[in-house]
Amino acid sequence: MSKYKEKINIFLKGFAMGAVDIIPGISGGTMALILGIYEKIILELKKINFKNLKNLLSKKQESKEKIDLNFLIWLFLGIITAIVSLAKLIHYLLQNYPNQLYGFFLGLILASIFLLLPKNFYKNKNYFFLIPGFIIAWLISSSGSLNSSNTYFNIFLSGFLAICAMILPGISGSFILLILGKYEFMISVLKNPFINNNLFYILIFAFGCLLGLLSFVKLLGFLFKKHKEQSLAVLIGFMAGALKKIWPFQELINEKNLFINITPILLLIILGITAGVLIPKMAKTKNRG
- 3-state SS class at 94: helix
pLDDT digits (tens, 9 = 90+) for 134-162: 998 888 777 766 777 888 999 999 999 88
Give the integer Cα–Cα distance in Å for 241 and 232: 14
Number of domains in the chain: 1
Q: For a pLDDT cut of 90, what percent of the chain falls above it?
A: 15
pLDDT band at 62 (very low <50, low <70, confident <90, very high): low
Q: What is the DSSP letter of 282?
A: H
Give the integer Cα–Cα distance in Å for 80 and 17: 10
Q: Which domain holds residue 240?
A: 3-288
120: left (phi over 0), alpha (psi -120 to 50) or beta: left
148: left (phi over 0), alpha (psi -120 to 50) or beta: beta
pLDDT digits (tens, 9 = 90+) for 192-222: 888 888 899 999 999 999 899 888 888 888 8
Give the integer Cα–Cα distance in Å for 226 and 219: 11
